[in-house]
């Protein structure tokens, strides 16, 4: 397969009655055809479009196609691309399979709800595309396994949207953790307290809005009446499509708990929580949840809540690596070390707050582009990295939903068959779980 194709082929634009605007021509001046990347975006309403916007800041990237099941979103985002680049994308689709079939597209951005990620990424890889996939890479354990195999088999260059892996201050913090200066680390505390997310009130079912292909939005998820609570951003609070804060923020924060400690699978998982803050709202996922992951010599503790911001260390989304000599605290703003003081004696020197750059997404996109051009599959967030932490987060939800302490061998639960039923999803016909 030719992985870098001629940019914006004249025949395609002539057929669509579209010409290349001067703004695009100027932006691409000096770029060899072999260095140009044609992008197609599936799912245009949220982070998918934020990702595309960052890609389009690079002169050798152009948006060839958009796909969304909502006509209003599709039209609005096409206009947004025109504002940024001077022309609308040549192709607008409501069926993502048509975007995948477009042979002029090199890179597919998957920005759909979580329950769609597996089908779309696997199809893109099998079509010879590279992929930028929003997190979590997969919703279930088996989906994650299939996505990794698809990328490996087809040699696709894949980046997952866990952009903290491309943010320098997070990597500095990991280097310090692994230096041993904190002493023996007993516990990693991970908090996600999201005060902005209060609740979603119960709403009646209704007809899908005009211009919305609701059956395509559901895809492999169970057939249910249209309800605005399950649509757009708030899909993440329903088990059919996502996993709540555990998989939304967990894949960012828990990733660094494991990365910092240089570990993989836990020995066991146990969880407790519920709808404590908003017992009568429309959400299915818990608004309060604590999960303990057991490792040899230390534990990882996850604690999340919606509607309140009082997480650990005076911050709302933060990790604390609790060592014998001190605690390293890190979040999206920066990191610091707080010395342990015993009998008025500090066991190590304090490290004042070191502010981060806030350029994680920018760096993640640039890294992906560089790797695509070099055909280097070792991106900053490979599908293997993305799958590892998506599984880890999913384990916490499974422990919560079963109400049991679960023993994990890296592949399945060894002490509970009920829990193993959550590992492989059931897809609604005619959609089928891919075979890779």
List, for residues 339-353, the tens digit of each pLDDT value.
999 999 999 999 999
Q: Does residue 427 form part of some domain? A: no
Q: Is the pLDDT of residue 87 over 90?
A: yes
pLDDT digits (tens, 9 = 90+) for 169-185: 999 999 999 999 999 99
Q: Does residue 278 form part of some domain? A: yes
**Does one domain contain both 382 and 393?**
no
Q: Is the pLDDT of residue 102 over 60?
A: yes
**Does one domain contain both 201 and 338?**
yes
**Does one domain contain both 397 and 382?**
no
**Element of type H or E holding 216:** helix 214-218
To the nearest 10°, report the CA torsion of 414, 416, 421, 424. Answer: -20
**Does one domain contain both 93 and 199?**
no
**Per-residue model confidence (pLDDT) at position 197:** 87
Query: In sequence order, what are the residues at sequence separation of 6 or more whose Cβ sits closer than 8 angstroms to the Cβ of residue 216?
Result: 69, 94, 95
Q: In the block, which residue shows the tokens 């190590």?
A: 348
Question: Please, which pLDDT band fits residue 198 given cuts at 50, 70 and 90?
Answer: confident
**What CATH code is carried by the domain that includes residue 154?**
3.40.50.720
Q: Is the pLDDT of residue 147 over 80?
A: yes
Could you give the 3-state DSSP secondary structure of residue 272? strand
**Does one domain contain both 49 and 79?**
yes
**Does one domain contain both 68 and 95?**
yes
Q: Is 373 exposed, middle or buried (0-12, 13-18, 19+ CB in 10 A)?
A: middle
Q: Does residue 1 form part of some domain? A: no
pLDDT digits (tens, 9 = 90+) for 276-321: 999 999 999 999 999 999 999 999 999 999 999 999 999 999 999 9
| Cα–Cα distance, 165 to 137 (Å, whole number) | 15
**Does one domain contain both 370 and 344?**
no
CA distances from 355 to 102, 161, 336, 425 (A): 43, 22, 9, 41
pLDDT digits (tens, 9 = 90+) for 1-56: 323 333 223 333 333 333 333 333 333 334 445 689 999 999 999 999 999 999 99
What token pair was written down for 207?
């007809």
Q: Does residue 64 form part of some domain? A: yes
| Cα–Cα distance, 315 to 43 (Å, whole number) | 31
Contacts 24+ apart (CB under 8 A), 148-152: 148/383, 148/384, 148/387, 149/436, 150/121, 150/122, 150/125, 150/126, 150/434, 150/436, 151/121, 151/125, 151/377, 151/382, 151/383, 152/383
**Does one domain contain both 142 and 23?**
yes
Please state whether the peptide bond connecting residue 136 to the residue before it is cis, i.e. omega within 30 degrees of 0: yes
| Cα–Cα distance, 336 to 353 (Å, whole number) | 5
Q: Percentage of the chain with pLDDT > 70? A: 92
**Per-residue model confidence (pLDDT) at position 34:** 66
Q: Does residue 110 form part of some domain? A: yes
Could you give the 3-state DSSP secondary structure of residue 317? strand
What token pair was written down for 163?
């952009």
Q: Does residue 141 form part of some domain? A: yes
- C-alpha torsion sign, points 17, 22, 24, 25: positive
**Does one domain contain both 144 and 238?**
no
Phi, psi of 301 (to 5 degrees): -115, 120
Q: What value does the mean pLDDT of the chain take? A: 92
Overall domain count for the chain:
2
**Does one domain contain both 76 and 132?**
yes
Q: What distance lies between CA 289 and its chain's CA centroid? A: 20
**What CATH code is carried by the domain that includes residue 292?**
3.30.360.10
Q: Percentage of the chain with pLDDT > 90? A: 90
**Per-residue model confidence (pLDDT) at position 61:** 98
Give the domain range for residue 42: 10-164+363-387
**Per-residue model confidence (pLDDT) at position 423:** 98
User: Of 149, 151, 112, 97, which Cα lies nearest the Cα of 435?
Assistant: 149
**Per-residue model confidence (pLDDT) at position 414:** 98
Per 3-state DSSP, what percentage of the chain is helix, strand, and coil (rounded to 5)?
35, 20, 40
Contact 308, 193 (CB under 8 A): yes
**Per-residue model confidence (pLDDT) at position 221:** 98
Q: Does residue 199 form part of some domain? A: yes
**Does one domain contain both 286 and 369?**
no
Q: Does residue 68 form part of some domain? A: yes
pLDDT digits (tens, 9 = 90+) for 61-82: 999 999 999 999 999 999 999 9
**Per-residue model confidence (pLDDT) at position 276:** 97
What ranges in 220-347 are assigned the alpha helix state H? 244-248, 250-261
Mean pLDDT on 238-245? 98
**Does one domain contain both 279 and 395?**
yes
């Amino acid at each position: 397969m030719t992985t870098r194709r001629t940019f914006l082929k004249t025949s395609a634009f002539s057929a669509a009655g579209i010409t290349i605007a001067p703004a695009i021509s100027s932006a691409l001046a000096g770029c060899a055809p072999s260095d140009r990347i044609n992008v197609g975006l599936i799912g245009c309403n949220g982070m998918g479009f934020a990702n595309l916007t960052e890609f389009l800041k690079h002169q050798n990237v152009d948006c060839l196609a958009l796909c969304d099941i909502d006509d209003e979103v599709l039209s609005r985002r096409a206009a947004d691309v025109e504002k940024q680049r001077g022309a609308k994308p040549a192709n607008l689709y409501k069926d993502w399979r048509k975007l995948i079939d477009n042979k002029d597209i090199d890179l597919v951005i998957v920005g759909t709800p979580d329950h769609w990620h597996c089908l779309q990424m696997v199809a893109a890889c099998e079509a010879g595309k590279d992929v930028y996939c929003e997190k979590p890479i997969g919703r279930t354990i088996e989906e994650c396994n299939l996505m990794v195999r698809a990328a490996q088999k087809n040699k696709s260059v894949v980046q997952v949207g866990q952009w903290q892996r491309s943010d320098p201050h997070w990597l500095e913090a990991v280097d310090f953790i692994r230096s041993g200066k904190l002493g023996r680390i007993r516990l990693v505390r991970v908090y996600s307290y999201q005060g902005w997310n209060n609740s979603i009130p119960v709403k009646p079912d209704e007809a899908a809005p005009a211009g919305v292909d609701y059956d395509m939005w559901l895809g492999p998820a169970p057939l249910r009446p249209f309800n605005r609570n399950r649509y757009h951003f708030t899909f993440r609070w329903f088990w059919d499509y996502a996993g709540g804060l555990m998989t939304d923020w967990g894949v960012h924060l828990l990733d660094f708990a494991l990365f910092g400690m240089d570990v993989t699978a836990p020995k066991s998982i146990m969880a407790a929580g519920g709808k404590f803050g908003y017992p009568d709202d429309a959400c299915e996922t818990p608004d309060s949840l604590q999960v303990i992951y057991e490792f040899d010599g230390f534990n990882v503790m996850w604690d999340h809540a919606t509607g309140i911001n009082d997480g650990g260390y005076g911050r709302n989304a933060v990790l604390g690596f609790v060592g014998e000599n001190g605690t390293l605290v890190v979040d999206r703003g920066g990191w610091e070390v707080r010395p342990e003081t015993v009998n008025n004696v500090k066991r190590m020197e304090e490290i004042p707050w070191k502010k981060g750059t806030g350029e994680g997404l920018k760096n993640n996109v640039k890294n992906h582009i560089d790797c695509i051009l070099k055909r280097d599959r070792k991106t900053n967030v490979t599908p293997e990295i993305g799958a590892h932490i998506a599984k880890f987060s999913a384990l916490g939800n499974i422990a919560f939903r079963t109400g049991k302490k679960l023993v994990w061998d890296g592949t399945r639960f060894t002490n509970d068959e009920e829990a193993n039923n959550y590992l492989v999803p059931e897809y609604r016909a005619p959609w089928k779980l891919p075979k890779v």
